[in-house]
Amino acid sequence: MNDYVIFTDTGCDILPDMLREWGVRNVDLTFRPEGEKRDYTQAEVPTKEFYDRMRAGTVFRTAAANSDTIKSALSPALAEGLDVLYIVFGSGLSSTASVAKLAAPELEEDFPGRRVMVIDSLCASAGHGLLLWFAVEAKRRGADLDECAAEVLKKLPKLCHWFTVDDLVYLKRGGRVSAAAAFFGGVLNIKPVLHVDDAGHLIPMSKVRGRNAAIKALFKKYCETAVDPASCTYFISHGDCIEDAKKLEAMIAAEYGNHAALITDIGPVIGSHSGPGTLALFFVGSER
């Protein structure tokens, strides 16, 4: 049995130090402030600085990883004699998954005998990160490449993503809501509650008035659909709103005694589209 290494990309919003601790290697996705000519990786811009610039009016753009970037990242592992399991940023939000799937057979041709397995996470942010964590745990238990991939694919259809945003203008830029909805949402303090569907697309599910109501709506979704809410592993990610993330965790802990396994920042690659004040909750549920 050949050994293998798990790869991810910065769409997972797991910090580099933690990825190293998990034994996971990373493909860097990039972003660019509008009007500038160079691309940045998440490691180059502190998250707080990024969100401060967004609040001041800077618009950021992102791009999918190209084939050369993916090949350059994966090739050293293959040259070491390792197979690769790449759990990639969801295809409903980025074309990185399709690029990776095209690059995989080319890499296998370049490194005969090696395998490159690409799994479209259909996820974003710490939802992608939670799926990655399940893969890491399977590998630690001794799962081989196929067994690890099977564990990921088993979890994927039931991995719930619920989130809210503080300002609809960022979703408007990405075409997720209309200009009118963004305007009146701001005037009326309307907060959307969204989730990621089976195809990995962002879907508005409901609207509530006020931030506290939005946080309570995320908590309610956990109560309604989490498998064994008193012990299931859940991640929270946030766009520079740590107090709201802690408030959501406190609601779950007060009800079930269950604390978040991870609270993490939403980095610039995802935050460019969701904006400051985004709050997201991820867990395995009875359905997505």
Q: What is the pLDDT of residue 189?
A: 65
- Grade residue 77 by pLDDT with cuts at 50, 70 and 90: very high
Residue 62 one-letter amino acid: T
Q: What is the pLDDT of residue 181?
A: 41
pLDDT of residue 80 exceeding 80, the answer is yes
Tokens found for residue 115: 């395998």
pLDDT of residue 205 exceeding 80, the answer is no
Distant-in-sequence, close-in-space partners of 238: CB < 8 Å, separation ≥ 6 = 244, 245, 263, 264, 265, 266, 278, 279, 280
Q: What is the pLDDT of residue 192?
A: 77
Residues written for the chain: 288
Give percent of the chain above pLDDT 90.
Answer: 78
Q: What is the pLDDT of residue 173?
A: 60
Q: What is the pLDDT of residue 266?
A: 97
By mean pLDDT, which of 158-162, 181-185, 240-244 is the weakest? Answer: 181-185
- Grade residue 10 by pLDDT with cuts at 50, 70 and 90: very high
Element (H, E) at 195: strand 190-196
Q: What would the 3-class secondary structure string for 20-62 be? A: HHHCEEEECCEEEECCCCCCEEHHHCCHHHHHHHHHCCCCEEE
Mean pLDDT of the chain: 90
- Grade residue 64 by pLDDT with cuts at 50, 70 and 90: confident
Q: What is the pLDDT of residue 188?
A: 44
In three-state secondary structure terms, 223 is: helix
- The better pLDDT of the pair 28, 177 is held by 28
- The better pLDDT of the pair 261, 170 is held by 261
Which domains can be identified in the chain, with CATH numbers?
4-156 (3.40.50.10170), 158-284 (3.30.1180.10)
For residues 118-131, give the mean pLDDT. 96
Tens-place pLDDT, residues 173-182: 655 444 334 3
- Grade residue 204 by pLDDT with cuts at 50, 70 and 90: low
pLDDT of residue 235 exceeding 80, the answer is yes
pTM: 0.91
For residues 2-12, give the mean pLDDT. 93
pLDDT of residue 5 exceeding 50, the answer is yes
pLDDT of residue 116 exceeding 50, the answer is yes
For residues 95-102, give the mean pLDDT. 96
Q: What is the pLDDT of residue 178?
A: 43
- The better pLDDT of the pair 41, 1 is held by 41
pLDDT of residue 184 exceeding 60, the answer is no
Tell me the CB-side half-sphere exposure of residue 186, using CA atoms within 13 A.
12
